[in-house]
Amino acid sequence: MAKKIQRNVAPPRATAARQEDAGGAGGRRGLFDTGRVSKAVLSQFTTQLATLLEAGIPLVRCLRILEGQMKPGAMKRILTQVRDEVEGGTPFSEALAKHEQVFDRLYSNMIRAGEAGGIQDRILDRLSKFMEKAEAIKSRIKGALAYPAAVVCVAAGVVMMVMTFVVPEFKAIFQQLLGKKLPGETQFLLDLSETIRGLWWVWLLGIPSLVVIHVQLVRRVVGYRRWKDRLLLGIPYFGDLLRKSTVSLFARTFGTLIESGVPHLEALAIVKASVRNLVVSEAIDGILASIREGEGIARPMEESGIFDDLIVNMVEVGEQTGELDRMLLRIADRYEIEVDRSVEMTMKAVEVGLILVLAVVVGFIVYALLKPMLSLMQDFGRSR
C-alpha cells in the first residue's frame, strides 16, 4: 500500500520540479535579462538546430538538447517556452511566432513553409546562411562607418578644447602687445572662441535635444522620414553604398523566401517589414500593387528608380523562366561584392575628406594665431 502511494505521489513532484525549472529558466527573467537576443546567438541556434534535425533527431529532443546548452538568459527562457508549447501540440512555427521580438516574421514564415513541405532541416540551413550573409554585410558597413565617426568625434573634441582653452590665452597676449589692431582672421577666430565659451550650454543641451527631436520626427512624421531617407540615398559614395546594401538585402530576403515556398505577396510583405529605408519600402508597395493586379514585378521595380537596369532585366528573365528565386539570389551575391567595393571606395573618400577638412581647420587656426605675431616681429625689425 505504501508503494502504491509513493508511485501516485511521485509524478506530481516531478511535474512540479519541471514547472519550477521552467519558471526559473524560462518563466521569469533574471536580474540582468533584458529580453534581447543577439543575432549571433540566434544564428548559432539556427545552425545547430538544422544540424540536429538533419541527423534525424526529433524536434522536441533537439529543442531540449539546445535548451540544456544555453546559458541562462533571454534565449534560454524563450526556448523553454517554445519547447513546452511544441510538446503540448503547438506547431513549431506558431510557437516561434509568439516571440516575434526574437523570431521575426521572416523566420516564422520560413519555418511554416518547411513544416508544410517536410523540409525543416533544409529551411533552417537556408535561414542560417541567410542570417550569416546579412550580418556580414551589416558588420562591413558598421565597420566602415565606425572609423570616420571616431575620427570626427576626436577631432571635434580637440578643436573645441583649443577654441575654449588655448585661443583665449592668445587673446590676452594680443591685447597687451597690439591693442585692438588685429587682422580680420585673428579677430574672427577670437570672436568665435568667445562665442563658443559663452554658449557652452547650447552645445551641452542643444545637440542632445536635436538628436531627440530628430528621432521623434523619424518615428512620428512620415514626410520627415521620407525626406531623411531620400537625402541619405543622395549623399555621394554613402548613398550608393546604402542603396546597394538595401538592394542586396531585398534580393537575398525575397529570393530565400520564394525558394522556401512562401507566396510572393506574403514574401514581399515580409521583405517590406525588414527594409528600413522608407523610399525603398514605398517602392515595394508598388511591386505589391502590381502583383495584386496580376502583373509582374519587373515594371514597378524599373519605375521606382531604386533598382538599376541589370536587376530589372534579371528579374524579368527569372519571371519568364520560372527561376525568380535563383535570379534574386544571384543578384544578392553580385551586390554583396559591390557592397565590399563601395565600402572600400567610401572609406578612401571619407579619409581624404577628413584629412582635407582637418588640414583647413587646423591651418586656419595656426595662421590666425601666428599672423599678428609675424606682423609684430616685422614692425619690431623695421623700428631697429
CA 123, CA 257: separation in Å to the nearest integer?
10
pLDDT at 176: 75
Q: What is the CATH number of the domain that holds 340?
A: 1.20.81.30
The verdict on 158 and 34 lying in the same domain is no
Which residue type occupies 264?
A: H
Mean pLDDT of 342-358: 85
User: What sign does the CA torsion over 135, 140, 142, 146 have?
Assistant: positive
- The answer to whether position 283 is within a domain reads yes
pLDDT class of 381 with cuts at 50, 70, 90? low
Of 22-31, 86-95, 190-199, 234-243, which one has max mean pLDDT? 86-95
Taking 80 as the threshold, does the pLDDT of residue 257 lie above it?
yes
Number of structural domains, the chain? Answer: 2
109 within some domain = no
What value, to the nearest 5°, has the Cα angle with vertex 240 and ends 239 and 243?
85
> 31: domain range?
17-103
C-alpha cell at 224: 520627415
- What's the pLDDT tens digit per position in 215-255? 999 889 989 999 999 998 888 888 888 888 888 888 888 98
Instruction: Tell whether 157 and 95 lie within a shared domain.
Output: no
314 in a structural domain: yes
Interior/surface letters 49-74, b for 16+ CB within 10 angstroms, e for the rest = bbebbeeeeebeebbbebbeebeebb
Count the helix, strand and coil residues of the chain and give each as a percent rounded to the nearest 5.
Answer: 85, 0, 15
Each residue of 301-343: pLDDT tens digit? 888 888 888 889 999 999 889 899 999 999 988 888 888 888 8
189 Cβ contact list (under 8 Å, min separation 6): 167, 364, 365, 368, 369
Q: Is the Cβ–Cβ distance between 268 and 288 less than 8 Å?
A: yes
Residue 41, domain member (yes or no)? yes
Cα–Cα distances in Å, from 357 out to 233, 353, 364? Answer: 23, 6, 11
What's the predicted TM-score (pTM) here?
Answer: 0.70
pLDDT at 212 over 80: yes
Are residues 164 and 84 part of one domain? no
Q: Is the pLDDT of residue 8 over 60?
A: no
